[in-house]
Amino acid sequence: MGEILDLARRAGAAVRFVDRQALDRTAEGAAHQGCIGHCSDFEYSDIDDILSVAQSRGEPPFIVVLDGIVDPHNFGSILRTCECGGVHGVIIGKNRQVPVTDTVIKVAEGAAEYVKVARAVNINDAVRALKKSGVWVYALDAAGRDIYKENLTGAVALVVGAEGKGVSKLTKDLCDGVLSLPMRGKINSLNASVAAALGIYRKLECDGGIASAE
């Protein structure tokens, strides 16, 4: 294992340590022996590319930022919802985040071909760049304001946190606001891909893309 880590670091490959359950999910039944490598021919974009897509469509930017999603099935599901919901692009981090793998592409059901994905060295720097470009950035978190009482028209980015951990404190502090989805049960959190879907469609509702239930 030490030799593998040394070779990865010398090659400039990102190394991330996760628990065994995360490895088991990623391996999907295959024997991983404690180590999994990811490689892909997927072509990543940058933030300017995503903003250019919105400009070309004559629309205010709508972006989803993923803060540490490690489950490829959640990532793929989020990509699929982003494509359906008119999101112009997704920003992920290079560390503590599953990249675009074959599993992500498969779960996304073709959406990875249409939704641009940018990899940022630092998510917080990406948030700062979005704000500088006039995008309002909101974190999705259980301790925020009711998302259904917030007007999400205009240029907006939604930050979705890691499974179990949520959006990191520093990232939340950088955001323009923290929004929550109403909960009536005894469990106060949703699966990351479900939370992202509800947030995306709330934004779509604010833009007049779907009829309001109110």
- The CATH 3.40.1280.10 domain(s) of the chain lie at 39-206
Residue in 116, 104, 123 with CA at minimum distance from that of residue 167: 123
Q: Is the pLDDT of residue 210 over 70?
A: no
What digits encode the pLDDT tens for the residues 168-206?
A: 999 999 999 999 998 887 776 788 999 999 999 999 999
CATH superfamily membership of 39-206: SPOUT methyltransferase, trefoil knot domain (3.40.1280.10)
Tokens in use for 57? 């469509």
pLDDT band, residue 164 (cuts 50/70/90): confident
What residues form DSSP beta bridges with 136?
156
Q: At what angle do helices 20-27 and 72-84 cross, to 10 degrees?
A: 60
83-99 pLDDT, tens digit per residue, is 999 999 999 998 888 88
pLDDT of residue 142: 85
Query: How many angstroms separate the CA atoms of 166 and 39, rounded?
Result: 26
Residue 154 makes CB contacts below 8 A (sequence gap 6+) with 60, 136
Q: What percent of the chain has pLDDT over 90?
A: 62
Residues in a beta bridge with 120:
93
Q: Which of 6-10, 124-128, 131-135, 168-172 has the lowest mean pLDDT?
A: 6-10
211 confidence band (pLDDT: 50, 70, 90)? very low
Confirm if 85 and 204 have CB atoms less than 8 A apart. Answer: yes
Q: pLDDT per residue over 11-57, tens digit each?
A: 777 787 888 888 888 887 788 888 888 766 788 999 999 999 999 99
Structure tokens at 99: 């990249």
Is residue 212 predicted with pLDDT exceeding 50? no
Q: Where do the H-state alpha helices sit in the chain?
A: 2-10, 20-27, 47-57, 72-84, 102-107, 123-132, 169-174, 192-206
Q: What are phi and psi of 147, to 5 degrees?
A: -65, -25
116: which strand partners?
Answer: 89
Phi/psi zone of residue 71: left (φ > 0), alpha (ψ -120 to 50 degrees), beta?
beta
